[in-house]
Amino acid sequence: MRTGIGAVLLSAAAVLAAGPGTASPVVAATTTWTVHPGGAVTATAGKTTLTDTKTGTTVSCESSGLSGTLKSGAGLPGAGIGTITAAAFRCSTPIGSARLSPRGLPWHLNLSSFNRGTQTSRGTISHVQLAFSILDVSPSCSAVVSGTSGTAADGTVTITYSDQGARLKLRPAGGDLHWYHAQHCLGLIGNGDPAAFSAVYAVSPAQTVTSP
């Protein structure tokens, strides 16, 4: 349900100040996690977008889906708390139908901080890589989306998960995705350009994720 992708080390969340001399209880310093029920999960989204933020070109996916597993129980580390073993996307572009294929699976779900006030967890999906092509042009436009190169599956996407409504959000800011190996794309996608991934997934079965 970014992230870069090797598993991210668990980091402590900053404690927000509610006022002079008063510490806010909203954001917890995170060391361990509790997940219920865990196990096999699926996530489905309507609109999913992948954007070249330098050129403004957006690949719009009418739908997408993820499936994988979450660890279950208490006292769990945030790094590698879940895995995404399959992903599918149905997409289009300004100049034709597109194919977006996952690479580097399994991707890793990592959690780093928890907001008690909103019951929202924040973290990343790592080990992300995507192969992109446009099917309706010749020669075919193609590119790879990843973190540091077109050959390494090491991209990271920032995510939040809300217990209320069981919603997993892929956030366009905070990750390290870039476009690589762009060929025959008419200047719509540039080699080395930053990429932003965005979607809101409904997770089933609904998971309760808290810390500590």
pLDDT of residue 18: 33
Q: Is residue 8 part of a domain?
A: no
Rounded percentage of the chain residues whose pLDDT exceeds 70: 84
- What is the Cα 204 distance to its own chain's centre? 17
**pLDDT tens digits along 60-98:** 999 999 999 999 999 999 999 999 999 999 987 666 678
Q: Is residue 169 part of a domain?
A: yes
pLDDT of residue 95: 65
Number of domains in the chain: 1
Q: Is residue 19 part of a domain?
A: no
pLDDT of residue 96: 67
Is 173 exposed, middle or buried (CB count within 10 Å of its CB: 0-12, 13-18, 19+)? exposed
Q: Is residue 76 part of a domain?
A: yes
Q: Is residue 27 part of a domain?
A: no
Containing domain of residue 152, as a range?
A: 34-210
Q: Is residue 78 part of a domain?
A: yes
Q: Is residue 1 part of a domain?
A: no
Q: Is residue 45 part of a domain?
A: yes
Q: Kindly report the pTM of this predicted structure.
A: 0.83
The count of other CB atoms within 10 Å of the CB of residue 32 is 12
**pLDDT tens digits along 124-183:** 999 999 999 987 777 889 999 999 999 999 999 999 999 999 999 999 999 999 999 999
Among candidates 60, 33, 23, which has minimal Cα distance to 45?
Answer: 60
